[in-house]
Structure 1
Amino acid sequence: MHVHLITARLRLRRFTGDDAAALATLHGDPQVMRHIDDGRPVACTVVERETLPALLREYDQLPSGFGCFAAEERATDAFVGWFSLRPAASRGLAGGTELGYRLVPAAWGHGYATEGARALIRHGFEGLDVERIVATTMTVNVASRRVMEKAGLRLVRTFFEEWPEYLEGAEHGDVEYALPREEWAAGQYERD
């Protein structure tokens, strides 16, 4: 197992081919996916044939330390989701390093998202020398917005994208949050 980061309660590690079922369960959950991409669950076959292989390729394609990492509870080894740190690629972003996360519903409300996000932010600034960390979500995704705020990111703007199909809440737009290196270094937000 290639462990990437350890927090008080989580272990972030590289995905392996053995993670297909857990990843398919996560991406196949309608609650998890309701504010992501087209708002629909992803079929198990798509996760196995496309999503997981793409995540595994990133470890070779991206600079060391970047990518998407499986998150497990340290106490139980239970898969709780994933966290990512990658060059910004989401719609509407003009650059920076993008923070992402996706957790199983059983892990919601326990502070895991904030804990993992803070660890990757610290890793990005201290270990990877990034200049700016960004994250986006739908305006209506209040829980994700709160995680971004608790992790130290600040609201930068609301923006509107054209979507091929209507997604509930899309009329309110998406939001971009960011944390520049200088604010992080100055400690202008609460660190854990």
Structure 2
Amino acid sequence: MSELRTERLVLRQWRKSDLAPWAAMNADPEVREHFDGVLTRQQSEASAARFRAAIEQRGWGWWAVEVRDTGEFIGFTGLDPVDEDMPFTGVEAGWRLARSAWGHGFATEAALAVVAFGFETLALPEILAVTTATNVRSQAVMRRIGMTRDPADDFDDLTVPDGPLRPSVVYRMSRRTAA
């Protein structure tokens, strides 16, 4: 299993001790603002179990993120194959952090680590990121790590109810442009 380290973060396999802060994060309406509602404790635990199993199986996926100096769990980041119901294929980079971790550059630092892993270790030709059109904070991270958006890739995510969360944007980065 791959564990990634940055200057301030550890991206690692999920632990039982991550479940309570992960559930609290997913119950926070601000953290879940760009998703279809908050999650119950059971839903959060089920997602962590899926993330853990994918990392065990592949050696990579949605890693838990902790602060190196304190060991505090602050969210997740990683890479995952795009869901089958999306209008494109590939491997997606993503992140979600607790509100207390916002504004410190952690999302950018973690995203840069997973993109480097994707290109250098997995030899992916391209990595993409997807979010709602209204999620300007995540789009800013995508731009900071060097991803670009082509409005022709934008789509309506039919897996979410009709409304402001349906319009989605896609950012991309190729291994060629990352080098």
TM-score, normalising length from structure 1? Answer: 0.85
Give, in whole Å, the separation in 1 of the partners of 2:177 and 2:115: 12
Provide the alpha-carbon RMSD of the alignment. 1.8
One-letter identity of the residue aligned with 1:150: R
Report Cα offsets for 1:88-144 as digits up to 9, x if no partner: 227534122110100001111111100000010011101111111001001111101
Aligned to 2:23: 24
Alignment counterpart, residue 42 of structure 1, candidates 39, 43, 61:
39
Aligned to 2:66: 72
> Secondary structure of 2:173's match?
strand
One-letter identity of the residue aligned with 1:184: A
Aligned to 2:174: 180
One-letter identity of the residue aligned with 2:31: V
Correspondence list, 1:118-133, <5 A: 118-133=112-127
Aligned to 1:57: 53
One-letter identity of the residue aligned with 2:41: C
Go from structure 1 to structure 2 and tell me whether the alpha carbon gap of 1:119 and 1:162 turns closer, same or farther (over 3 Å shift). Answer: same
Aligned to 1:33: 32
Give, in whole Å, the separation in 2 of the partners of 1:68 and 1:91: 19
Moved over 6 A (4+): none
Displacement of 1:164: 5.2
Give, in whole Å, the separation in 1 of the partners of 2:28 and 2:44: 12
Aligned to 1:170: 165
Counting matched residue pairs gives 177
TM-score, normalising length from structure 2? Answer: 0.91
Give, in whole Å, the separation in 1 of the partners of 2:61 and 2:87: 18
Displacement of 1:3: 6.6
Alignment counterpart, residue 136 of structure 1, candidates 127, 130, 139:
130
Given that 2:18 and 2:73 are in contact with CA atoms closer than 8 Å, whether structure 1 keeps it comes out as no
Unpaired runs of 5+ residues, structure 2, are none
Go from structure 1 to structure 2 and tell me whether the alpha carbon gap of 1:164 and 1:108 turns closer, same or farther (over 3 Å shift). Answer: closer
Percent of aligned positions with the same letter in both sequences? 33
